[in-house]
C-alpha cells in the first residue's frame, strides 16, 4: 500500500537556518566595523536581533521583508541606546545585507545530505509525497524552483503562512496514515501529531532557530508513540518498514 508523506522544506530538505546565521554574522561584522564601541557585546546584539525578529513574526507572521527589516530595527535600537543618530545610508546598506538570505544562488543544488536519494527512493516506491512548507509565498516558491523540487513532488507543493492544527486537520481529512516529516518540533511535529497524524522528526544536529524553540506544550506519552525520531533524513529508507 502507498504511504503518505508530507515533507517540510527549510532545514529538512535544504539548510536555510545556516544561511540566516551566516547573514546575521555579516550584519554583526558590519555594525562593529562602522560603530565600533557603540555596539553591545555579541551576545546582547544577537539576542536583540532575535527578539525583534520574533516580535515581527508574532505581529505579522512571515512576510518577505521581515528579516532585513529586523536587522534595520536592531541597528536603530543600537543607535538609540548609544545616543547616536541612525544614518539612512547605513539603513539601506543593512537592508541589502539582510536581503542576501533571498539570494537563490545559495540554494542551487543545496540539499541536506541524503535527501535526494531518499526522495528518489520514495518516488520509486510510488508513495504519495507532498511538500508542505510555511513562509512567504514568493520566497518559498523561489526555493522550490531553484532546488527543482517539482521533479520529486510534481504539483504537490503546498505553501502555508503557518503550520497549525487547523492546517493538519484539513489536509489530513481524507488521507490514511499521513506522516509529517520535518525538523521543527513546534511546526512539524507537535501540531501534526495532535491532529492525529504520525510524524518523523529529523532535528537539526546544531539545534533549532529561536522561533521553533517556542514549542511550549509537550506531547503526551500516547502521542509520542506516533513520533519517529531519526538522526538523518536517509534513515527513512532503512526504517521504511516501520512506517505504515
Ligand atoms: Mg523546517
Give 86-103 pLDDT, tens digit per residue: 999 999 999 999 999 999
Gap between the Cα atoms of 94 and 128, Å rounded? 43
Query: Mean of the pLDDT values across residues 120-137?
Result: 96
The model's confidence at residue 178, banded by pLDDT at 50, 70 and 90, is very high
Q: Which residues have CB less than 5 Å away from ligand 1 (the ion)?
A: 8, 10-11, 183-184
Q: What is the pTM of this model?
A: 0.93
Burial class (CB in 10 A: 0-12, 13-18, 19+), 37: exposed
Gap between the Cα atoms of 171 and 184, Å rounded? 18
User: Separation of 17 CA from ligand 1 center, angstroms?
Assistant: 9
Q: pLDDT for 23-79, tens place per residue? A: 999 999 999 999 999 999 999 999 999 999 999 988 887 788 999 999 999 999 999
Q: Are 107 and 13 in contact (CB under 8 A)?
A: no
User: Separation of 11 CA from ligand 1 center, angstroms?
Assistant: 5
User: Separation of 202 CA from ligand 1 center, angstroms?
Assistant: 9
Amino acid at each position: 500500500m502507498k504511504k503518505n508523506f508530507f515533507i517540510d522544506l527549510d532545514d529538512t530538505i535544504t539548510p536555510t537556518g545556516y544561511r540566516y546565521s551566516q547573514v546575521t554574522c555579516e550584519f554583526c561584522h558590519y555594525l562593529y566595523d562602522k560603530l565600533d564601541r557603540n555596539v553591545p557585546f555579541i551576545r546582547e546584539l544577537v539576542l536583540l536581533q532575535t527578539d525583534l525578529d520574533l516580535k515581527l513574526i508574532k505581529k505579522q507572521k512571515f512576510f518577505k521583508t521581515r528579516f532585513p527589516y529586523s536587522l534595520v530595527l536592531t541597528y536603530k535600537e543600537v543607535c538609540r541606546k548609544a545616543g547616536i543618530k541612525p544614518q539612512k545610508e547605513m539603513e539601506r546598506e543593512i537592508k541589502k545585507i539582510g536581503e542576501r538570505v533571498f539570494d537563490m544562488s545559495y540554494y542551487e543544488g543545496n540539499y541536506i545530505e541524503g535527501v535526494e536519494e531518499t526522495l528518489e527512493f520514495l518516488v520509486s516506491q510510488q508513495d504519495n509525497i507532498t511538500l508542505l512548507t510555511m513562509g512567504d509565498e514568493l520566497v518559498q516558491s523561489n526555493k522550490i524552483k531553484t532546488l527543482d523540487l517539482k521533479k520529486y513532488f510534481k504539483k504537490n507543493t503546498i505553501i502555508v503562512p503557518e503550520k497549525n492544527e487547523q492546517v493538519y486537520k484539513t489536509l489530513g481529512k481524507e488521507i490514511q496514515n499521513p506522516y509529517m516529516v520535518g525538523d521543527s518540533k513546534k511546526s512539524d511535529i507537535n501540531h501534526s501529531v495532535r491532529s492525529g497524524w504520525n510524524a518523523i522528526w529529523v532535528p537539526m544536529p546544531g539545534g533549532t532557530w529561536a522561533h521553533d524553540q517556542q514549542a511550549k506544550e509537550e506531547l503526551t506519552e500516547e502521542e509520542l508513540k506516533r513520533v519517529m525520531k531519526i538522526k538523518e533524513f536517509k534513515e527513512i529508507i532503512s526504517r521504511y518498514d516501520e512506517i505504515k
